[in-house]
Chains A and B, each alone.
Chain A
């Protein structure tokens, strides 16, 4: 079943265009969203969250269009971006105390267990956290309200290898619980391990959207890893 559907998304900036972006996400699957810097990943993700105003196209979650059902849909999805600092001079405790009032499904027990898992201290302020710890705090906020869909923009950037490993294990666990994950990253080795599907975007246009094995069969050469395929495709496009 398609939990998220993006259809015909177009957005024009003076120096960049998102062209007819369409894909869908299946329930309980991890989808890797890959592309170079500036390929359109963040623009697509921001469109999916109604943070930017698209020229055309439709986005729906759980069969409901985003526009007109924004509040209801956002109760059921979680978003985390890299090391962005929200309210850098407030304590984590203060931010959580205010944030949880917005979510009907906030799970305090889950919040505390992620706090422990990520080694976060409630008394600290985002300004006092390392880049990796900021990523973990953003993830904690996204994970603590029992989101059915997680949209993660570069969630593993800045994390040490051990934390990345823990996070990928967590994604596996969430997937088993039926959570749908869209995971944008440059670190394609993470996707080798946890992704079921791959969406590949270049210059604002979707080049491929399929199961990971199918993507590797269609675009790869024998023995090539996902990263090698991605690098070769980019080089070929530039040549």
Chain B
């Protein structure tokens, strides 16, 4: 582990952020909008940003022997670490629902979105949006967190609503596949989610570095 990530994990982060990774277990909830788990994981990350701000973390980091852009890199590494840990948990539980639990009545009679590769792709898009709107928005000032988080909550829930609605539209039923049905389409949607996440995070990081260079601490 590099020194920047270690600093983020041991000094800047709250224990709550790690505990909130557990909201990935919402993947198992039947009859519930399971994408809401992403919101809670992001809420955990938000709490760490808030705590770090009160601890003068950004100025402390900027005084360390690193370039200013490395301060930004450390935060992105931490955010991605939390996101990918929760994604891994969601992926394992999704596989469980696709295999051992694929015929469970509570999931078969589920009006809401199923846990499948399309769900995992959407999880990544939601994390990507968080990285663009909240994490990227934070670096415009390096202290304001309320406004970017509120914007993310609005956009995020609109996205969750849209994702939950899609499979009810005639012709798009395959998005809500059970087990290994429509696997090629399902994997394609997940792959698109991976690409969108990577692209959004990369572009957000580049803009954040440029924004942070301009501001005074």
Contacts and interface: CB of A to CB of B under 8 A. Distances in A.
B66 A101 contact: no
Interface in A28-77: 46, 49-53, 70-75
B65 interface: yes
A103 B70 CA distance: 15
Given A52-B217, A101-B6, A94 B11 contact: yes
B65 A53 contact: no
Interface in B38-94: 54-57, 59-60, 62-68, 70
A87 B55 contact: yes
A164 B7 CA distance: 32
Contact of A70 (B7, B57, B67, B217): B67
A214 B79 CA distance: 55
Given A71-B65, A102-B64, A51 B216 contact: yes
A90 interface: yes
Contact of A86 (B3, B55, B70, B217): B55
Contact of B60 (A86, A97, A103): A86
B60 A87 contact: yes
A95 interface: yes
Nearest to A87: B55
- Secondary structure type dominating chain B contacts: helix
Interface in B88-108: none
B181 interface: no
A71 B4 CA distance: 13
A217 interface: no
A99 B64 contact: yes
Nearest to A95: B11
Given A71-B67, A101-B6, A85 B62 contact: no
Interface residues of B, number: 24
B215 interface: yes
A84 B64 CA distance: 15
A2 interface: no
A52 B214 CA distance: 8
A75 B65 contact: yes
A1 interface: no
B68 A50 contact: yes
Contacts of B214: 53
Interface of A: 46, 49-53, 70-75, 79, 84-90, 94-95, 97-99, 101-103
Interface of B: 3, 6-7, 10-11, 54-57, 59-60, 62-68, 70, 213-217
18 contacts: A49-B63, A53-B214, A70-B67, A71-B66, A71-B67, A71-B70, A72-B65, A74-B63, A85-B56, A87-B57, A88-B54, A90-B11, A98-B3, A98-B6, A98-B11, A99-B64, A102-B65, A102-B66
